[in-house]
A and B are shown apart, each in its own frame.
Chain A
Amino acid sequence: MSTASQTPKDNRLLAALPEQDYRALLPFLEPVALPLAMALYESGGVQGYVYFPTSGIVSLLYVLENGSSAEIAVTGCEGLVGIALFMGGETTPSRAVVQSAGRGYRIKAAALKEKFEAGGALQYLLLRFTQALITQMTQTAVCNRHHAVDQQLCRWLLLSLDRLPANDLVMTQELIANMLGVRREGVTEAAGKLQAAGLIKYSRGKITVLDRPRLAARVCECYAVVKQEYDRLLPADSQSFAH
């Protein structure tokens, strides 16, 4: 995957930095490809880098010691992966996996930490992102507990689509089941319902959203809670993120 055409400003946090702070960070940013299924962090591992995606989606999965896991948040070009590092966690309790291939920039842990500690616009933005991420995690928790699988699937599809340029998602039902922390049959049934209603088309591992407004009408309020918090806390973008 070529990284030639991307710029760090494709990441909304980096784009929102004042020019001076941006320039100070620039020499430390290294372009990286984020291929499907690449693990940026393993649970309990030490983080060498913080990642700023410019495209694609990274899933944060929480892994229990019996191996079962559930997705607790998704991050794309609106954020960064690796907040444990500047928030004072030595290791990350979650696993970060590329759920939809893309690209981004990474920065060495020590370099980012130093800039963060200096305060200013970078710290401000990163803390706001942290709060948005916490909201996404807590809302996901309550949604997973109480809402029907087809509603959870709608939420997951909309949150993912917000982070992608097109209406297609490449995904297996097994992966979705892992993400939602439900059994595969549950996802098959939920996806079947949405397909029968003409909201999505699912074939050979590719989900195409056919009717976004109706998907948005069917989703539980958890999606709006997360979206509003992201819109309120994070810098607006005129490009890919807006729908």
Chain B
Amino acid sequence: MSKRKKLKINDISKDTEKLSTVETKDLMPLPADFEEKEWADLPEETKEKWACILDDVNMLQIPKPKTVEEEEELVNKFIVGMRKLFTKEDNWTFLPMLETTMEHCAKCNTCSEACHLFEATGGNEMYRPSYRTEIFRRIYKKYVKKEPFSKWRNGDIDLNWKTVARLGELAYRCNICRRCAQTCPIGADNALVAREIRKIFSQELGMTTPELHEKGSMMQLKTGSSTQMTKNVVKDNVEFIDEDFSEEFEYEFETPWDVEGADILLIHNAGEIMAWPENIAAFGIIFQAAGLSWTMSSELAAYDSVNYGVFYDDVQFARTAILHAQAAKKLGVKKIVLGECGHAHKALTVIADRVLPEALKVPRESCFPILRDIVMSGKIKFDPERNNFPVTLHDPCNITRLMGIIKPQREIVHKLCPQFREMTPNGPFNYCCGGGSGFAIMSRNNIPEWRFKVTGRKKLEQMLNAFSDSRGPDIPKYVCAPCSNCKGQIRDIFERYELLEKERMTYSGLVELIVNAMVDVKPGFIKWDEE
């Protein structure tokens, strides 16, 4: 960011090529020297097809308007969508929180200090959490609420297609981690505003990101999973995992499918099955060893806890949440338990309360308290010496800050990991991994580089600092990140900065640490190298 020319609210509407850029020299310094790349030019096809006028990245696919009519249509539809956000019938899910944010922000900027993007970019104004909100607020007050003299009371805004397109893209420059909302003395929620803008674009304009919509929530509704695993494929894959890991670790276990009347319906993020099968195996081993009554379901969408609607669209959200609840009802289980996926926790245990009809309100729980109870029960024999390497814990935002599940994970790692150390800050005050709100699965144009430089930078700093006593390639280290999305982001950060090679750092979930310490399982469940 150029310090001489500070970005202003009204710059969002200006007829410039782009609004801002994050310069390498302004990035927050890290406790190790890493070479940072400059932004590559966006691909020509991307620039031709989509409105790329915010910065050096393109996420939201807004077709570039070709005529004045198309420009006007973009603005008009945006206003129609915004009006709906402020109508109870159209937005009963989030309207009260949105109104609080619109009416009561005191502009104290406490939120800015809390934001890891603002910090990582050396205080780039575009990343001030209230920047996006203030633009949104001014449009709302002037064009939707139509407050008298809004221009003077609230500050003016020039509403043209560039304002709208930039605001849409800017809604995808936030991890929706809600650290800003947590620190706000009034309870304004800038992260909510980011998601509400995404909703206007998806629900009113039909503009989304392909990873979350066509290839995400639509695939889940069509094939049963965002990974496109159908019922038969998922059952084959899990059966393969059961056999493969039973053999390798000399511990027989089998995942039960479609068991009517089981106590627990376990729903994993299906990405785990494809990319981190050891997580699926570890759950199978632990649940079997503890003698739980549990099952997985092969119903459409019920073997994939992801609900990408949580990132951008209430309708897609509701469609998926209903499928999850229906599957549980059909089997007659006592409760749904969610595996290690933060967004699934947010979707099904928190937001689903606002959309599920009474008849579908099945009890829904996090896996962490259950895992804690198992580990503490004495039913399973552990040898913590097997986990005798430096371990730190990443707190997924949706599990810790949103839901307040803080202690269960810690009781487990304190019991099983002799060299456990916290990151600073941690628990409810954690920082996002940088992949939150859907970014972890996006790899188009400069998105990965942005995830490393901007959103993931604070987490990288925290991880390195947690291991400041054991740096270098000789001591194996483990980042416990019990969330599929966080793991995807952390995997990519490790690869980008060569942390396995340079620091012998690996990452995985919580259940893997539990199984790695189980006396009845062959040692070596956690691996640092591919075999």
| Chain A bound to chain B | no
Residues of chain B touching chain A, judged by Cβ–Cβ distance below 8 Å, are: none
* Chain A residues with a Cβ under 8 A of chain B: none
